[in-house]
Chains A and B, each alone.
Chain A
Amino acid sequence: MRAVRRVSAVSLEAARLGLNVGQKATDALALVPDLVTAEAEPEADAAALTALADWCVRFSPAVAVDAPDGLFLDITGVDHLWNGEAALLADLRARLAANGLPFRCAIADTPGAAWALAHFAQDGAIAPPGGQGGLLAPLPPAALRLPPETWAQVERLGLRQVGQLMSIPRGPFARRFGRAAMTRLDQALGREREALTFRRPPNPWFARLAFAEPISAPEDMARVTTDVAAKLCARLETEGQGARRFEICFHRVDGKALPLEIGLALPGRDPARIAKLFAPKLETVDPGFGIEVVTLAGHAVEPISGRQARLDKAREATVEEGLAPLVDRLTNRLGEDRVWRAAPVESHVPELAQRRARPLAPPSEARAWDREVPRPTRLFRRPEPLEAVMAITPDDPPSQFRWRGQVHRVRRAEGPERIGEEWWKGAIEDVRTDHVRDYYRVEDEAGARFWLFRSGLYGDAQTPPKWWLHGLFG
């Protein structure tokens, strides 16, 4: 079968000339010989839609992408910032128009109803709370986002309006059109919830400042950072909460949104401290022609008690005033993966026996390391191969070995400590005898203490055992 090139999108002018989506490209060119065509770029379209979703965060933190060409904005509890839904919609329309984007939009109680109104009703429709049924009734059945198999059935019965579908009793409706169609109708009318995948999880900890005049001076940006932080922190404080991560977003006049993020070691709500952590990163923000809106969202919000500093020991510092700010400074400067506290992991394999825990996290449940089992002070990430290893008998610790070009004569040795692989974690077929390690602690004539191991067993003809150095005791 030959691939058929089809029209995937048409401009307003082309639509007036009678072209439509899904038409064969050759047919379209026959109808309009001087048609200008361009290759469809679904990936670029998706990227543009994602960028638009990010931009829409200025209206609501909860934006869901409805591929290929739609967006859902959850404006619950946000519209009052614009003094009502109508004003919000007008602002959205004005801004989209200013960016030269063709659009249709609608506001309704449910995502399904909003979708139907945006696609089939008059552009800019606002359904009154609970009143979407009346607005939906005159729309064609396609407005319900019905599955394709139901679609044919609806056509065959000659149903032309959603209202006709709504008047069918539920039992016969479900039998005739299937459960999926019933769900779609219920979702549109608000009888059933619809799960949207928001690009960002809806976050109630969100503050927003809009400016009459766009700002661009560095000192202004620092000031608005403090202001927006104070706004959010005041709310956090009244509810006894603190956030671990803060994300500030500068919305530029040209529609670009520039996010910055900081993290705290302990949940906090001190606006001065938050602004201070943002301060060194502000210079990376290019204000362009100016910034008109700044938003701040708090993530990982958890309750904090306003703990009182200890009275009895005035000298002893609390973690909040000393260590936590230090950890914050370091993690925000160096990166989260560069500041850690080693925490034990219950594993016999030495390189797996520790993990990086957050510096101020409560101690883990895992059993601590055994003090009496000698472990080196320096453990190599990758064991280093040893050369010219000599041992008296095959199962003895080496009496001499070469590491990094230097020969070490072993004076004392201790071992072996046999450590096998964690065979219960992988497939049983992958378990091999050459994964068994026999660790020895040896001391050379100068006193240097090494931790070396032999991987594999003697007598294995296919994979002869090899010697490795895994760490140094000092």
Chain B
Amino acid sequence: MSDFRALRAKIAAIEAGARAESESLPFGDGAIDACLPGGGLPLGRWHEIGGAGMEVETAAAPTAFTALLAAPLTRRGEVVWVLRRDDLCAAGLLGLGFPPERLIQVCARDEAEALSVMEDALATVGVAAVVGEVEACDLTAGRRLQLACEKRGATGFLIRRRPYGGSARREATGSAAATRWRVASAPSEPPAGEFGLGAPRFTVELERCRGGRTGAWLLEASQAFSGAHDLEMTDVAHPLRLVADLGDRQLAPAQPFRRVA
């Protein structure tokens, strides 16, 4: 196994070219981390997160997933969130474990402006991550984002969103993103004997991953809306827990997976 890892590191080094050795943020679960180069979400790169169906306009599940991904980065610096439509609810992000006091929101007037603000923010000292809500990102814009990421090692998250509806645009073919995710909400499972909704669950598909493998999982934000104790989380662990591996594109197990209390 260690040979594999060494080989993978070597390939990554070749791919990275002159780029400095980049850090990564492990999910803390072997099944996911094994698919990602360097054993975690690569930092200093940008990641594309999309939804399907009505989520293309509302982008609620991708937003929640992005907030969960970016939450550990808030201890390194500020997070700049570039919006096109001002409907982000900071109280909701706090519930997911994302501290809103580290969040600066910027409302851009159009797509080009959103991309250029992202670029500007990524290249700024003191900014750990930049989230942008953009409809499509072509190859040139993607490369520019990548260059901006490399300047300071900030991580970009690009949420594919058509903020005011309208007809679907053709998906961009090429992309400079390090990873591409497709996120959808999944039915939650409350603990046995409890009413209401369980912790939010997401069907997360890693559609594309540079230097890694694709995969699909059912993840649960088990700490959501549950008090302050997980603010003590370490730098490595994401507030996401693997519920089931959907790698073979099967549906969730027929027998609902019960959370161990």
Using CB atoms and an 8 Å cutoff, list the residues of chain A in contact with chain B. Answer: 317-319, 321-323, 325-327, 329-330, 334, 338-342, 344, 350, 353-354, 359, 363, 368-369, 371-381, 404, 406, 411-414, 441-443, 445-449, 471-474
How distant is A373 from chain B, measured CB to nearest CB, in Å?
7
The reply on B155 being an interface residue by CB < 8 A is: no
Which chain A residue has the least Cβ–Cβ distance from B187? A447
The reply on B236 being an interface residue by CB < 8 A is: no
**Can you list 10 contacts pairing A with B, beta carbon distance less than 8 Å?**
A323-B124, A330-B120, A340-B104, A344-B91, A353-B91, A363-B101, A372-B95, A374-B95, A446-B187, A447-B203
| CB-contact partner of B54 in A369, A374, A377, A406, under 8 A | A406
How distant is A414 from chain B, measured CB to nearest CB, in Å?
3
Residues of A near B96 (CB, < 8 A) are 377
CB atoms of B188 and A447 under 8 A apart = yes
The docked-state distance in angstroms from the alpha carbon of A256 to that of B104 is 39
Give the dominant DSSP class at B's interface: mixed
| CB-contact partner of A443 in B91, B197, B224, under 8 A | B197
| CB-contact partner of A380 in B87, B90, B93, under 8 A | B87
Which chain B residue has the least Cβ–Cβ distance from A413? B196
Residues of B near A368 (CB, < 8 A) are 94
The reply on B201 being an interface residue by CB < 8 A is: yes
The docked-state distance in angstroms from the alpha carbon of A340 to that of B55 is 25
How distant is A447 from chain B, measured CB to nearest CB, in Å?
4
Residues of B near A319 (CB, < 8 A) are 126
How distant is A441 from chain B, measured CB to nearest CB, in Å?
6
The reply on B113 being an interface residue by CB < 8 A is: yes
CB atoms of A414 and B89 under 8 A apart = no
| CB-contact partner of A381 in B86, B126, B196, under 8 A | B86
How distant is A353 from chain B, measured CB to nearest CB, in Å?
6
The docked-state distance in angstroms from the alpha carbon of A451 to that of B96 is 16
Give the dominant DSSP class at A's interface: mixed
CB atoms of B197 and A354 under 8 A apart = no
Bits for B213-248, please: 1 = Cβ < 8 Å to A, else 0.
000000000001111100000000000000000000
The reply on B179 being an interface residue by CB < 8 A is: no
The docked-state distance in angstroms from the alpha carbon of A354 to that of B125 is 28
Binding stretch for chain A, among B15-23, B33-41, B58-66, B141-149: B58-66
Bits for B26-69, please: 1 = Cβ < 8 Å to A, else 0.
00000000000000000000000000001100111111110100
The reply on B135 being an interface residue by CB < 8 A is: no
The docked-state distance in angstroms from the alpha carbon of A326 to that of B117 is 10
The docked-state distance in angstroms from the alpha carbon of A276 to that of B103 is 26
Residues of A near B95 (CB, < 8 A) are 371-375
The docked-state distance in angstroms from the alpha carbon of A353 to that of B91 is 8
| CB-contact partner of A339 in B105, B190, B197, under 8 A | B105
Residues of A near B228 (CB, < 8 A) are 371
The reply on B129 being an interface residue by CB < 8 A is: no
The answer to whether A326 and B124 touch (CB under 8 A), given A340-B105, A377-B88, A379-B89, is yes
Residues of A near B65 (CB, < 8 A) are 474
Residues of A near B108 (CB, < 8 A) are 334, 338
CB atoms of B63 and A377 under 8 A apart = yes
The docked-state distance in angstroms from the alpha carbon of A99 to that of B78 is 54
How distant is B121 from chain A, measured CB to nearest CB, in Å?
6
Residues of A near B93 (CB, < 8 A) are 377
The reply on B177 being an interface residue by CB < 8 A is: no
CB atoms of B121 and A326 under 8 A apart = yes
CB atoms of A375 and B124 under 8 A apart = no
The docked-state distance in angstroms from the alpha carbon of A412 to that of B194 is 11
| CB-contact partner of B87 in A359, A375, A378, A406, under 8 A | A378
CB atoms of A322 and B124 under 8 A apart = yes
The docked-state distance in angstroms from the alpha carbon of A441 to that of B188 is 12
Q: Which of B62, B107, B195, B228 has its CB near the most chain A CB atoms (within 10 A)?
A: B107
CB atoms of A379 and B185 under 8 A apart = no
Residues of B near A326 (CB, < 8 A) are 80, 120-121, 124, 127
The docked-state distance in angstroms from the alpha carbon of A474 to that of B124 is 30
Which chain B residue has the least Cβ–Cβ distance from A411? B187
| CB-contact partner of B225 in A322, A372, A379, under 8 A | A372
Residues of B near A406 (CB, < 8 A) are 54
Q: Which of B96, B106, B113 has its CB near the most chain A CB atoms (within 10 A)?
A: B106
Bits for B175-205, please: 1 = Cβ < 8 Å to A, else 0.
0000000001111101000011110111100
How distant is A361 from chain B, measured CB to nearest CB, in Å?
11
How distant is B253 from chain A, measured CB to nearest CB, in Å?
15
How distant is A444 from chain B, measured CB to nearest CB, in Å?
9
The answer to whether A404 and B89 touch (CB under 8 A), given A317-B126, A413-B196, A473-B60, is no
The docked-state distance in angstroms from the alpha carbon of A99 to that of B57 is 59
Residues of B near A354 (CB, < 8 A) are 89-91
How distant is A400 from chain B, measured CB to nearest CB, in Å?
16
CB atoms of A378 and B60 under 8 A apart = yes
Which chain A residue has the least Cβ–Cβ distance from B230? A371
The answer to whether A449 and B197 touch (CB under 8 A), given A326-B121, A338-B107, A371-B227, is yes
The docked-state distance in angstroms from the alpha carbon of A443 to that of B92 is 16
| CB-contact partner of A323 in B78, B103, B106, under 8 A | B78
| CB-contact partner of A371 in B62, B94, B195, B202, under 8 A | B94
The docked-state distance in angstroms from the alpha carbon of A443 to that of B103 is 28
Residues of B near A448 (CB, < 8 A) are 54, 60-61, 185
Residues of A near B63 (CB, < 8 A) are 377-378, 474
How distant is B98 from chain A, measured CB to nearest CB, in Å?
9
The reply on B100 being an interface residue by CB < 8 A is: yes
Residues of A near B126 (CB, < 8 A) are 317-319, 321-323
